[in-house]
């Protein structure tokens, strides 16, 4: 008979008998010792610390999930999610999207009549960016003129808190918020959006993003109920907007945690009706992350968007917007918009991701991560409330200060390439033909976005004309690993190299040298010890002004002017090299 594990005990099924937690630790430790990540003196259970990742909220993600008293609020979505595309008022583009896979529109324009010409308002939900009471009345008038009703998922999109964070002028006042809520409820649509992507775009962590949304949502509930709007009406007009990144487990756990935390807030409101929990269930519109995108090797953004959309769908998003891969370059073109639509089509129709309501439910790892993120988000909510509420922390700058602290840590990880960005900080392609796009002035795409790789993008945007001479020591087989590392590193800073090739001594190295001001020495440690110093001296005599070296950090290279090892700050190092090249 198969052994049934006790709560907290890890058992792994084997062909003949169960494998225990200790068995897994022993097997995993053996692999890590071969890789040099554990020493022979380290205990086997050291694999947990070695393989555990930590988010910017201090939430640990272990290598394996274990049973526990986990719980989460299941998604309310039944079937495919709403495929929502962004639009800046281009009617032709909106109709093309709806005819080719999109099921709703997220529109940023004041000319709604022109933008929605030909749109079947009863079939396609329309969500406005930074809506007002005037927009609400226009939408209702359009529907009345056409003799139809607005789709119930239509949302006026009022969100003065997000506008305040962005520094927008003409913020909607409290009375107008209440007016929109009443108009929306009377006509069976939604009126308010809690847009947490605004703090994600600024660099917030997952818990900060969810905590902000909870505090903002609670502030809107207080405002509406304080003005006499019934609690169920106030809950029914709200929609929440979150970001999805290519860290799929964290994203889907974040969405599940957000639902659970909001359900807790609804319960604390002590609703009189037992059906109010369903009315107040959090409706989630999830947008693939803008900060994770790169303006260089933008084709990789397609992969990032696909993984993020998958995480959003698995996490229970009611509506998903895939930001086109070419958005960092300007206004997305038809191809970028088509690929963005097709991501959801592929996930829903071909991969059947939406066929199961909560695919991640029951996963020990996801359930534990959900609980931990929920606790961190609730703690963030409590910090905001203790400081006087969301308006107070926005106006006094304390929210931005705490977000900036996360940004500083993330930028450090990106700079040291502990958080690699494919095509930018790792495996960059110099001289690539980056597509050109028209500039955009829309608030939806032109918002304040701190892209994670912005420091490397700045270097790539202004490449030096001069090349670095790559002084490779010894035959190709001996120097190829370090040479590849150096080429990849320098290219991340927009720096091209001229490679010496196979060499058998200082004379051959100097013969390949062509007067470059900066020389980068690359070879095996044995070659560094044997003739690195002589190579540097010979190249200096030949005219090199600065000698740098790439290594593993284990050996001191006093003969070099600068050195780089894995884990060093690449942005600072590349900046120093470029200053000499100028």
- List pLDDT tens digits, range 365-387: 999 999 999 999 999 999 999 99
Within 13 Å and on the Cβ side, how many CA atoms surround 559?
19
- For residues 310 and 245, is the Cβ–Cβ distance under 8 A? no
- For residues 368 and 72, is the Cβ–Cβ distance under 8 A? no
**Three-state DSSP class for residue 323:** coil
The H or E element that residue 155 is part of is strand 155-158
Token couple for 157: 């999109």
pLDDT at 495: 97
Nearest to 285 by CA among 380, 190, 160: 190
Please give the biggest Cα pair distance in the chain.
Answer: 88
- 168 versus 527: the higher-pLDDT residue is 527
Within 13 Å and on the Cβ side, how many CA atoms surround 124?
26
Q: Which residues contact 189 (CB under 8 A, 6 or more apart)?
A: 139, 150, 151, 152, 153, 154, 155, 156, 237
**H-helix segments, 348-475:** 364-386, 390-395, 398-415, 454-461
Token couple for 357: 């309501």
User: 89-355+380-386: which CATH topology?
Assistant: TIM Barrel (3.20.20)
DSSP states along 146-190? TT----TT-EEEE-HHHHHHHT-SSPPPHHHHHHHHHHHHHTTSE
Nearest to 151 by CA among 75, 78, 84: 84
Neighbours of 427 (CB within 10 A): 14
In Å, how far are 382, 449, 548, 554, 576 from 418, measured between CA atoms? Answer: 31, 22, 22, 19, 20
In Å, how far are 6, 196, 264 from 382, measured between CA atoms? Answer: 34, 17, 13
- List pLDDT tens digits, range 412-456: 999 999 999 999 999 999 988 888 888 765 434 446 899 999 999
Distance CA 312, CA 322 (A): 10
- List pLDDT tens digits, range 127-157: 999 899 999 999 999 999 999 999 999 999 9
Q: Beta strand 284-288 with 104-107: parallel, antiparallel or unpaired?
A: unpaired
Distance CA 373, CA 196 (A): 16
pLDDT above 50 for 408: yes
Strand partners, 128: 107
Which DSSP symbol is given to 251? H
User: 462-581: which CATH topology?
Assistant: Rossmann fold (3.40.50)
Backbone φ, ψ for residue 45 (5° rounding) = -75, 0
Same fold, 89-355+380-386 and 462-581: no
Query: Average per-residue pLDDT in the chain?
Result: 92
DSSP states along 279-319? HTPPPEEEEE-STT--SSSTTHHHHHHHHHHHHHHHTT-SE
- For residues 469 and 549, is the Cβ–Cβ distance under 8 A? no
Nearest to 492 by CA among 429, 434, 546, 549: 429
Radius of gyration of the chain (CA): 28
Token couple for 78: 């039944």
pLDDT above 80 for 272: no
**Three-state DSSP class for residue 117:** coil
Token couple for 32: 């890590």
Any idea where the domains of the chain sit in the sequence? 15-51, 89-355+380-386, 462-581
Distance CA 302, CA 245 (A): 12
pLDDT at 442: 43
- List pLDDT tens digits, range 313-368: 999 999 999 999 999 999 999 999 999 999 999 999 999 999 988 888 888 899 99
Q: Could you tell me what percent of the chain has a pLDDT over 70?
A: 93
Distance CA 451, CA 56 (A): 16
Nearest to 106 by CA among 90, 84, 91, 123: 84
pLDDT above 80 for 30: yes
pLDDT at 440: 66
DSSP states along 91-152? HHHHHHHHHTT--EEEE--S-HHHHTTT--TTTS-EEESS--HHHHHHHHHHHHHTT----T
pLDDT at 169: 67
- For residues 90 and 115, is the Cβ–Cβ distance under 8 A? yes
Distance CA 235, CA 225 (A): 10
Give the pTM.
0.93
């Amino acid at each position: 008979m198969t052994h049934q594990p006790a709560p907290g005990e890890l058992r792994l099924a084997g062909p003949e008998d169960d494998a225990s937690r200790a068995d897994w630790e022993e097997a995993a430790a053996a692999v890590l010792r071969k890789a040099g990540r554990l020493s022979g003196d380290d205990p086997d259970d050291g694999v947990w610390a070695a393989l555990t990742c930590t988010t910017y909220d201090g939430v640990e993600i272990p290598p394996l999930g274990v049973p526990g008293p986990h719980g989460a609020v299941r998604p309310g979505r039944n079937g495919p999610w709403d495929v929502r595309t962004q639009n800046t008022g281009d009617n032709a583009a909106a109709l093309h999207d709806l005819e080719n896979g999109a099921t709703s529109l997220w529109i940023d324009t004041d000319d709604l009549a022109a933008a929605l010409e030909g749109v079947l308002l009863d079939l396609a939900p329309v969500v406005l960016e930074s809506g007002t009471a005037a927009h609400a009345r226009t939408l209702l008038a359009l529907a009345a003129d056409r003799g139809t009703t607005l789709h119930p998922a239509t949302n006026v999109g009022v969100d003065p808190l997000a506008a305040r964070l962005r520094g927008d002028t003409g913020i909607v006042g409290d009375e107008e918020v209440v007016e929109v809520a009443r108009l929306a409820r009377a006509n069976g649509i939604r009126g308010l959006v809690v847009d947490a992507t605004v703090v994600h775009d600024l660099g917030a962590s997952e818990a900060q993003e969810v905590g902000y949304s909870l505090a903002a949502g609670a502030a809107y509930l207080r405002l509406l109920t304080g003005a006499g709007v019934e609690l169920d009406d106030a809950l029914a007009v709200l929609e929440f907007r979150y970001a999805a990144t290519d860290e799929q487990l964290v994203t889907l756990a974040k969405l599940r945690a957000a639902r659970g935390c909001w359900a807790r807030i609804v319960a604390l409101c002590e609703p009189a009706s037992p059906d109010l929990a369903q009315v107040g269930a959090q409706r989630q519109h999830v947008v693939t992350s803008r900060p994770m995108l790169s303006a260089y090797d933008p084709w990789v953004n397609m992969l990032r968007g696909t993984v993020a959309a998958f995480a959003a769908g698995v996490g229970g998003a009611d509506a998903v917007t895939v930001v086109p891969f070419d958005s960092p370059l300007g206004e997305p073109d038809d191809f970028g918009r088509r690929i963005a639509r097709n991501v959801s089509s592929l996930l829903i129709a071909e991969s059947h991701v939406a066929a199961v309501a909560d695919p991640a439910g029951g996963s020990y790892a996801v359930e534990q991560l959900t609980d931990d993120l929920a606790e961190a988000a609730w703690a963030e909510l409590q910090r905001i409330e203790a400081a006087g509420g969301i308006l107070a922390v926005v106006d006094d700058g304390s929210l931005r200060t705490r977000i900036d602290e996360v940004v500083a840590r993330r930028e450090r990880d990106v700079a040291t390439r502990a958080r690699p960005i494919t095509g930018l900080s790792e495996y960059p392609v110099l001289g690539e033909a980056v597509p050109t796009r028209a500039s955009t002035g829309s608030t939806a795409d032109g918002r304040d976005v701190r892209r994670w790789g912005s420091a490397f993008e700045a270097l790539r945007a202004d490449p030096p004309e001069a090349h670095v001479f790559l002084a490779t020591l010894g035959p190709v087989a001996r120097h190829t690993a370090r040479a590849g590392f150096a080429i990849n590193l320098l290219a991340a800073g927009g720096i091209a190299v001229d490679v010496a090739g196979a060499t058998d001594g200082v004379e051959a190295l100097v013969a390949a040298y062509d007067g470059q001001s900066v020389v980068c020495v690359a070879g095996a440690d044995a070659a560094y010890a044997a003739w690195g110093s002589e190579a540097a001296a010979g190249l200096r005599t030949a005219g090199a002004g600065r000698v740098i070296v790439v290594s593993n950090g284990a050996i001191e290279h006093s003969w070099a002017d600068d050195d780089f090892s894995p884990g060093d700050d690449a942005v600072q190092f590349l900046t120093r090299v470029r200053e000499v090249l100028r």
